[in-house]
Amino acid sequence: MPHILAVAAGPTNPPHQPAILLSKNQQDVSRESELSLPGRTLTEYSPPPQRDETGDAPATNEPSAAADLRAACRTILTQPHLKKLLPFDMAQIYLYQAETTDLILLLRLAEDDWPQKQVCRLNEGYTGWIAKTQTSLHIEDIQQFNAIHPAFDQSTCPYRTFIGAPLMSGSKLLGTLELAAVAPHKFTDQDVPLLEIIAGQTAIVLENTQLFSATNRQLQVRLDELDGLQRVSKELNSTLDLSKILGAVLEEALRVTQADFGNVYFYNAATTELIAYTDQPESPSSQLSNGRGRQAISAKQGIVGRAIRSGQSILVSDVTQDKDYIHLGYNVRSKVVVPIRYGGEPVGVINLESRQPHFFNHEQRHYLELLANQTAVAIGNAEAYHQQRLEREQASRRADQLLRLAEISSTFRTNRPLSDVLEDIAFAVADSVGYDVVLISLVRDDPPLLYHEVGMGIPLAQLAELRQPDQVRPLHHLQTLMLDKYRRSNTYFIPATEKADWQGQLNIPFIEKSVALPRLTNQPETPHLILHAPRREPWQSGDLLLVPLRKANENIIGLLAVQNPVDDNRPDMTSIKALETFANHAASAIENAQLFKLEQERRQLADTLRGVSEMISSHLEIEQLLQLVLQELRKVINHDRSTVELLEDRHLVIIGGQGWEEYSRQIIGLSFSMTGNNPSRRVLETQEPVIVKDAQTEYGAIFSSPPHDRVRSWLGVPLTYGTNILGLMAVASHKIDFFTEEDAGVVLAFANQVAIALQNAQLFDEARQQVRQLEALTEVAGSLNQALELDQVLNLVLDAVFDLVGHSNGSIWLIDRSTGTVKIANTQNVPDFLVEEFNRSNTSIDTEPFDSVIRSREVLIVGGDKRRDKIVPEFGVPFPDDVTYVPLKTEDGVIGILAMETVVNSRGMLDLVTTLADLAAVAIDRARLLADTRSRAAEMQSLYKLGVDVSGMLEVRQVMRSVILNVLDLLGGQIGVILFWDEQVEQYIFEGAAVTPQLAARFGMERIGLVQIRPDDTHHPMAPWASLTSQIIDSSQPILSDLTMSKSKWVKGEIEPVQDNNVSPSHEIVKRLGLQTILGAPIQLQNQVAGAIFVGSLHGSSFGERDVKTLSFIATQAAVAVRNAQLVQRLNLLTENLEQRVYQRTEELAQTLQELTDERDRMGVLYEL
């Protein structure tokens, strides 16, 4: 990935004029008339065609290629979604020229007519910097950015924001893609990866377009060459005027090669001189100034002389580097010289020259060689016409040959079948060259084999037999006969003495020459009187003449074999050349047919792949899409069966197939293991196509049973997307050794499309799933925010999780910090007895796997094929094998665990579930807090009510009963007891209550009235309560006795029952009372314990730490209320005693007063007396 240079500029002042990323070069551009008018959305600016330094010749980039590239770039930059993603006001693309290391402006789309630079050097401005460093560039404000010096004036630039990326194909630089916007800070750093993706796609399009244009150019050149050969052939057949022929040849050579000038030299063997017969000077003035005219040059020097001496074509890319070049002052830089050879001897040379170095190429040289062959034929014909005017029969035959060649050449431009063209050539050879037996064979297959195709002079039955597949012969049999001792020019003459060899090696029938019949002809017979010609040897029965048919690269593509010449003479060079001419046409016909067939196949493949690509972009249902792709594959590759197999966890699963007949339904979903010896494993391990020629021989264990028992040939290619292996595509045939490497390439092309389709479908499914999951997550989050009750929250969480995962078994465990245990709070599809058994087991949070989840705060997966590496649950109850544990986390820690009875392997799914678990934890914590707040509010209200009630009560029993009834209501117990020590009587005052009359009767609490118990009275029915009270008084601490907690303890690894021989006294009393849990709190007055209050339950684990605090608070209130009631009772008793004493004293005083009054009266009487 290229590095990114992102430059952030501070805010600019409004008066500043924005700058643009384009270079200002007034010397290179003055294109205002070609730029778009202001006001339009985006106007395209296309640079003019580049021209060479002389200004005469166009640049090497053809206009059609540039137009194709520009059209492709325009299609990308004008996409409506592109401007939505990257809001640009100007876009431009530069192409990198590796030869000149320059960047050429290819296309510019902008709203303004601001001039831009046509050519940019490496490291020049922003464009050159991007190309030089191959790094993306992001400038938030051009006017504030000075790290890279731009190639324009920043103060006049209409743009402020710039972003650019290199166009890369692998490590190869293709150019740059640049966007600019008028406003500053228009692009962000997040837009850089998006632009790089677009740049990568643009680079692919540019490279494909260049390849397509190059292919079209090559095909056009080939067609032009064939057309030129056709025109030359017509010229050769229409005239024997050597001047016209050579003029046409030179004109054609100059037309095809675009050379600046050229000429044709005749070679005079006697004087070893080259005579310029005709030429094409650059201009009349230069011709005069340079003295160019028909002159003789020595063949012993110069590049032209070297070509004559060596007999080989010479291509000189730079004449200044060639030691044989003779400088004549014509500014020549490159040239190509092709000798004209006739009859194995040089007769002339074609010389073309150019002012540009590296102007000519090997294809042009090859074409000139073909043209030279035509020229040689023309020269030979002319010489034959002028020198052998009296040999009319040979001239007539030669003319007939040329006529037939012209006819054959004309058929090249038609769509006639190859067999018809070869048949015409065979008859032309028989009629024009003069042979009674002609056989043309073609080379096919790999390894190459010779197939006999058409014949003349061979019985039809015998020819039909020769065409049978069992009559083919390997090509190397022909190569063993191509010895130098048999060679004549490009032809091989095998004498009759070697008949056994060629007949057995090549399977060519030997046809005895029949008695010659009078040949009908419209021309008078020409006497065979050639005084200067050598004497020819007679043809022997069993002689054979072979002409290998070669392509342009010299590969043998066929064979022309002739027997029984009409003149009964062994061939001379004239007849051999004529025969080779027909052979060349036959080779051209074969090559053209092969090229035409290959082009048709490529076009069909391209059309098919284009159609497949369109189907991929328009279909999202993968099953339907695979069927359509496989149908298209059958159109271009012949096969019997096909499958598309997806790799899933070391198994290949068939997701699509065709041609399986009765197994069509069973084959879908069929799974194959990737272990063992099988071809599919080879495909995935090598990531290369694998061809199995005989499947039942190489992989008998796999292909010997249905549904694969009919498969004989097998071809598999990998389905890859990037570096990911998705699976493979396989085609099969019922024939042995059916598929070729070309088939593998075609299937691989389809496989790449299928891989894209699978990846697109997977991405679409994932996106759709993510959207659905996010919608569900959003909906659940909203529901959780509205839910206030804990059960409602738990139900919502389980429903949402199982809807996401697609599995409906699991539970939520909440942690009770007061007891250090884990309890199941809610479940789905879990048996109730398991829930009850688990909750009764009082499982500690230190038990696995809870301890690992709580400590790590991470997801824990137990089960699957990795179970032996994971922690095994330590429960004494049945538990599923596969479980995914997700912690419910808040800021304070883990408050619970979400358990799903399935293994969740998807990272994305785990992230969603974890997010949902975090939301659930917050909702659960909030619901628990709300429930706790409500509970505390209810408790406070009850405590307040209790305080108000007991504050108005004056009787001790009434106070104690009210307290115990409120305790049962607050703590949810079944039985409550309060004992208060009365110092006056030195006994416990007892008061108890139960929630039902049956429980009251069971525990002896149905009696009415105040009960008093002595501490030492062990026989009293309520003595156990007194004993518990004594324990509380001794410890001054609350007591919580839970028999279920003492039955077993939990340790890591397993559940171990514990036999406790030292049972605490409180546990013993609890057992004797028949309860499971008792909670007691001391009733303290100042610093002394005056009694205790108890609440009991028939169920285990009924009370916690909070209940202890609540009961202690009630005990404190009860102590005050009971003491107040006692004080009131005592005050009332004292008041009654005082009133009695006052009454008594009053009576006594009244009696005393009466006595005193009586005494006074008596004393008064006495006084009176």
- Checking if the pLDDT of 521 tops 70, the result is no
Segment 186-198, tens digit of pLDDT: 899 888 999 999 9
Distance CA 399, CA 879 (A): 100
Fold of 239-387: Beta-Lactamase (3.30.450)
CATH class (in words) of the domain with range 392-510+538-593: alpha beta
Higher pLDDT, 1070 or 97: 97
Contact 132, 61 (CB under 8 A): no
pLDDT of residue 784: 63
Contact 1007, 1021 (CB under 8 A): no
Contact 314, 307 (CB under 8 A): yes
- Checking if the pLDDT of 489 tops 80, the result is yes
Mean local confidence (pLDDT), 673-678: 81
Mean local confidence (pLDDT), 824-836: 77
pLDDT of residue 1010: 56
Phi-psi region of 437 (alpha: psi -120 to 50; beta: other; left: phi over 0): beta
Domain ranges of the chain: 4-217, 239-387, 392-510+538-593, 619-768, 787-925, 952-1132
Q: Which of 394-403, 541-550, 1078-1087 has the lowest mean pLDDT?
A: 394-403
- Checking if the pLDDT of 603 tops 80, the result is no
pTM for the model: 0.38
Which of the four pLDDT bands, split at 50, 70 and 90, describes residue 869? very low
Q: pLDDT above 90 covers what percent of the chain?
A: 7
Mean local confidence (pLDDT), 851-866: 77
- Checking if the pLDDT of 218 tops 90, the result is no
Residues 6+ apart with CB under 8 A from 983: none
- Checking if the pLDDT of 787 tops 80, the result is no
Q: 923 is written with which tokens?
A: 């909702």
Distances (CA, A) of 824 to 4, 32, 411, 830, 902: 53, 80, 90, 11, 18
Mean local confidence (pLDDT), 962-974: 81
Which of the four pLDDT bands, split at 50, 70 and 90, describes residue 538? confident
CATH architecture of 4-217: 2-Layer Sandwich (3.30)
Point out which residues pair with 763 in neighbouring strands.
Answer: none
Which of the four pLDDT bands, split at 50, 70 and 90, describes residue 732? very high
Mean local confidence (pLDDT), 1011-1037: 77
Higher pLDDT, 42 or 1164: 1164
Higher pLDDT, 368 or 58: 368
Segment 428-463, tens digit of pLDDT: 888 878 889 999 999 988 788 999 989 988 888 888
Per CATH, the homologous superfamily of domain 952-1132 is: GAF domain (3.30.450.40)
- Checking if the pLDDT of 551 tops 60, the result is yes
Q: pLDDT above 70 covers what percent of the chain?
A: 79
pLDDT of residue 336: 92
CB atoms within 10 A of CB 809: 17
Residues 6+ apart with CB under 8 A from 598: none
Fold of 787-925: Beta-Lactamase (3.30.450)
pLDDT of residue 408: 66
Q: Which of 207-221, 439-453, 828-842 has the lowest mean pLDDT?
A: 828-842
Mean local confidence (pLDDT), 852-865: 79
What is the phi/psi pair of residue 6, to 5°?
-110, 125
Q: Which of 238-242, 648-652, 968-972 has the lowest mean pLDDT?
A: 238-242
Cis peptide bond prior to 849, omega within 30° of 0: yes
DSSP 513: P
Mean local confidence (pLDDT), 231-237: 72
Q: To the nearest 10°, the Cα dihedral for 504, 508, 512, 513?
A: -140
Instruction: Quickly list H helices, 12-77.
Output: 63-77
Closest CA to 980 of 1096, 1093, 1108: 1093
Mean local confidence (pLDDT), 367-382: 80
Give how far the C-alpha of residue 585 lies from the chain's centroid of Cα atoms, to the nearest Å: 50
Sheet of 987-994: strand order equals 1011-1013, 987-994, 975-982, 1088-1097, 1077-1085, 1039-1042
CATH architecture of 619-768: 2-Layer Sandwich (3.30)
pLDDT of residue 409: 66
Mean local confidence (pLDDT), 816-835: 77
Q: At what angle do helices 956-971 and 1105-1168 cross, to 10 degrees?
A: 170
Mean local confidence (pLDDT), 1009-1018: 66
The reply to whether domains 239-387 and 392-510+538-593 share a CATH topology is yes
Range among 49-63, 768-782, 836-850 with highest mean pLDDT value: 836-850
